[in-house]
Amino acid sequence: MIWITMFLLVKSYVMTGDTLKINLEQAKQMARKANPGYKIDALSHTYSKLGLYKKLSSNILNPEVSVNYSEVESPDAMLYSAKGYSFNFSLNQRVLDLGQVTSLLGSKFEKNANGALREESENRLFYEVESCYLSVLKSQKLVELKEKAVERANENMRLVSKKLEVGEASKLDSLNAEVSLNRAKLDGSGADKNYELAKRVLLNALGIFEERELLLESVNVGVLNLTPLDSLVASALEERPSVKAEREALKGGKLGFYGSILSFLPAISFKWWWGYRTEDFPERFSEIRDGANKSSGWKGSIGLNLFTYPFEVWQFKTALDKGKLALLSKELNIVREVKDAWLLGEEAHRNLKLAESMWLAAEEAYKLSKTQYELGLISALDFFRVAEDRLDAEISYVNTKYDYKLAYTRLQYVTGGL
C-alpha cells in the first residue's frame, strides 16, 4: 500500500511542455527515484540483505541432488571404474560451527549498518533538495524585487531629467540618479543569473538534465523556537543514522574479535547420504531404491594453528580498536555539526527579527513620506530615496527569511530529523 501511495505522490506533479509544476514533497520523491548516489546506497543495503539471507539459508538443512554420467574406465576394473550412471542425494546440517555463527551475525550487523547509511543518504538527499528548492524560491522573489528597483530607478532618472531641464536639479543629481539606475540594472542582472543557476542546480538534484521552466509551490517560512543545544546534541547522537551505522559496525568488530579468540572450538555437522550407481540406465525406480547405498553420521573437526592464531586475534583486536575510534570520531563530528548548525540557526533567528523590524519601520516611513509627498511637503527625490530604502529593507527581509528556513532545515538534517 505504501508503494502505491508513493507512486501516486510522485506522479501527481504536472509537466506541460517544458514547464514542471511541483511542490517540495514531490520534488523530494522525484529525487529519491532518480538520484544515483542515493540509489547506490539503497542497492548496497539490498546487497547486504541478500548476503544475510544467503548465509541464513546455508545454515539450515541443505539438500543436494546430483546425477552423473561417465565414460571413464580403469584398465583394472577391480581397482577403479567410473563408467556408467550415478544418482546421489544428501542432507547436510551444521549443528555447531562458531565460524558460521560469527559470519551470520556479522552479516546481520552489516545489513543494519548499510540500512542506516541508506537512511543517512536519504536524509542528505532530502536536505539537498529542500535547500535547492528554497534557493529557487528565494532567487525568484529577489528577481521580482530587483525588477521593482530598476523601475523605481528609471522613474527617479526621469524625474531628475525633468528637473534638470527646468533648473531644479543639478548635474550632480543627474549623475547620482544615473549611478543608481546602473547599479539597479547590475543587481537585477546578477539576480537573474542566480535564479537561472538555482533552477539548474535543483533540476540536477531531481535527476533532470533537460531545461525546464519551474513552477514551484510556495513554502511556509514561519518563525520557530530553537530547541536547547544540549537536547539537540543528545538527540543527534541517538537518532543520526550515520552514528547508528558506526555502532552496528562496532558490534561486528566485537563479534569478530571474540570469534577469533574462540576459533579453536570444534565444528560439528550431520550428514545423511543416499547414492546409487550402475553401468546401465535403470528402467524402473525400484531398481534404484533396492540397490541404493545409504550412510549417515556425525562429523567434527578441531583446528588451531598455533603460528597464525595469535596474529589473527591481534588483527581482530586492532580492527575492534579502529571501530571504537571511528565511532568516537563520528560522534565528535556530529557534535560539531550540531553546534555549528545551532549557532547558525540562532544567528539567522536574530537576523530575521532585526530584518523584520527594519522592514516594518521602512514600510511605515514609506507611508508617511507618501502622504507628505502628496501634500507637497517633500520633494519627489526625497520620496524616491524613502521608497528605495523600503525596497532595500524588503530585500534584506526576504534574504534573512529564507536564510532562516535554510538554517532550520540544516539543523533538522544534522540531528537526523528529516
Q: Please say whether the beta carbons of 127 and 407 come within 8 A.
A: no
- Distance between CA 360 and CA 390 in Å, rounded? 9
Backbone angles phi, psi at 76, to 5 degrees: -110, 100
Domains delineated in the chain: 2-34+97-266+302-414 (1.20.1600.10)
Residue pLDDT, tens place only, 216-273: 998 887 666 778 999 999 999 999 999 999 999 999 999 999 988 888 777 788 788 7
Report the distance separating Cα 410 and Cα 347, nearest Å: 13
DSSP-derived secondary structure letter, 228? P
The pLDDT assigned to 277 comes to 76
- For residue 7, is pLDDT > 60? no
Other beta carbons within 10 Å of 113: 24
Coil, helix or strand for 136?
Answer: helix
Grid cell digits, residue 277: 550407481
Q: For residue 237, how many other CB atoms are within 10 A of its CB?
A: 16
pTM: 0.78
- pLDDT band for position 297 (50/70/90)? low
pLDDT of residue 8: 40
pLDDT for 53 equals 85
Place of cell 532545515: 409
Selected residue with higher pLDDT from 334 and 260: 334
Give the pLDDT of residue 303. 65
User: What are 58's three cell numbers?
Assistant: 546455508
Average pLDDT over residues 342-369: 93
CA atoms of 35 and 225, how far apart (whole Å): 33
Give the neighbor-by-neighbor strand order of the sheet with 84-96: 62-70, 84-96, 267-278, 293-301
Grid cell in block for residue 64 = 543436494
Q: What per-residue confidence (pLDDT) applies to 16? A: 45
Identify the band that residue 302 occupies on the pLDDT scale cut at 50, 70 and 90: low
Is residue 100 predicted with pLDDT exceeding 70? Answer: yes
Mean residue pLDDT of the chain comes to 84
Report the percentage of the chain scoring pLDDT > 70.
86
The DSSP call for residue 83 is: -
pLDDT digits (tens, 9 = 90+) for 161-216: 888 888 877 888 888 888 888 999 999 999 999 999 999 999 999 888 888 888 99
Does the structure show a pLDDT above 80 at 298? no
* Cα–Cα distance, 413 to 125 (Å, whole number): 10
